[in-house]
Amino acid sequence: MSSPTLVLASTSPFRRELLGRLGISFVTAAPDTDETPLPGEAPETTALRLSEEKAKAVAKDFPQSLIIGSDQVAVLDGKIYGKPGTHERAVEQLRAMRGRSVNFFTGLCLYNAATNTARTVGIPTLVTFRDLSDEEIENYLRREQPYNCAGAAKSEGLGIAIIARMQGDDPNALVGLPLIALCTLLREEGVAVL
């Protein structure tokens, strides 16, 4: 019996690159999901819910597959900072976060479409930002253009220069795909990574 197809429910080149590091075969699919938090929803719940919704959104096209969904939110003072989308919103986000510690919470789901079972985990990463000047924020945003990254922070690129410290269990979680947790979930589904 052959192994199920592994599907990454994401169009993110960063998540694709991270999953590629494991050296296992996979395909990607674009999930069509509304990423708006629900009224009164806790940020951690948002990330977990969206990671599962993304995985399930592509299941109809991959009914016998294991599907990986992931979502990330940045949280400061109880407020969610998602993908800024524009330069102006990215400036606002980084001004609010400079000199502060921000919790980046990454939700991860491994959905078995054949059995209709979902395993979800959440991985927090505490990121302390440097006390950036307005000029540094502008320089960073012009060079990196991280408008599709939660909190406008792209740690896998030039964004590492705006960070003073990171604390977490998985360095890949901040990029958007916690590989340590994913390896555990894959093993539980009988997929050999090694």
Q: What is the set of active-site residues?
A: 71
Q: Are strands 79-81 and 66-76 parallel, antiparallel or unpaired?
A: antiparallel
- Contacts with 97 (C-beta within 8 Å, 6 or more apart), sequence order: 74, 76, 81, 129, 151, 153
Q: Helices then strands (H, E): number in the chain? A: 5, 7
Cβ burial 71-104 (10 Å sphere, 16+ → b, else e): bbbbbbeeebbbbbeeeeebbebbeebbeeebbb
- Contacts with 116 (C-beta within 8 Å, 6 or more apart), sequence order: none
